[in-house]
Amino acid sequence: MSVTNKLYIVTGAAADSDIGLAICKKLDECGARLILVGRREQALNETLNQLEGSSHVVSPFDLCNLQDIAAWVKELVKQHGAIDGLVHSASYQGYSPLRSISPKQINQYLDINFSAAVMLTAAVSKAKQFNPGASLVFIGSAAGQRGLKARTLYAASKAALTSMVQSAALELAAKKIRVNCVAPAVVSGKKAEQQFATLGEEQSQKLKDAHPLGLSKPQDVANSVYFLLSDLSRNTTGVTLAVDGGFLAG
């Protein structure tokens, strides 16, 4: 069941990422070794300073450079050894009303939320890049399973991610690599507060009321990620686990 001494790549690991930071802290508490990934080295070092373990490393990288992902992962393995899993928490978020959507916006959402996930999966699953029993976990969204007004691009990118997880799970089962997704709805924290400020008080309250159990906390998402990485879920693959306070049940 333990993830102790296992090596995981965690994207979106900057200290100002509510979910990414919570995932790093959870895995650190459980004894894992982490490769912290994000565009900003200083923000990654801030995360590193909040962790107890001494074997974590920082690897600044812009996942929009899709063509470089394979070589970058290969170099990480060369330096730190084969990996036991991946958590792709990096995400591009925001609103995209149809009246103002541009081709550039489409690429912004798809490059990080979907295309980078595909390239990471392909890179990590190559021979000698992973250890037996590796587990890949992607942070999706309830928006990928239920349309949301003015969030067309975000919802579409997360729906594509869910579909990718199902297909990759089938293809990689022969290698004993598990592939799963965790799909939160609104998660409490700085990003949620920014969203509520954009929506205004009335719409914000409606959105909160759409979560019968209340908003999830970043730690709730991190606990589910731990479950999917560990042997507790050793026979689970190709699933999208909702951590949404009942949002999708409404």
What domains are defined for the chain?
Answer: 7-187+217-245 (3.40.50.720)
pLDDT the model gives residue 150: 85
pLDDT the model gives residue 1: 55
Contact 91, 221 (CB under 8 A): no
Angle (deg, nearest 10), helices 152-172 and 116-124: 20
Contact 138, 100 (CB under 8 A): no
192 — pLDDT class (breaks 50, 70, 90) = confident
147 — pLDDT class (breaks 50, 70, 90) = confident
pLDDT > 90? residue 44 = yes
Q: Quote the strand ranges of the chain, DSSP E.
A: 7-11, 33-38, 57-60, 83-88, 130-139, 178-184, 240-243
Reported pTM: 0.96
Q: Three-state SS across 3-51? A: CCCCEEEEECCCCCCHHHHHHHHHHHHCCCEEEEEECCHHHHHHHHCCC
pLDDT the model gives residue 118: 98
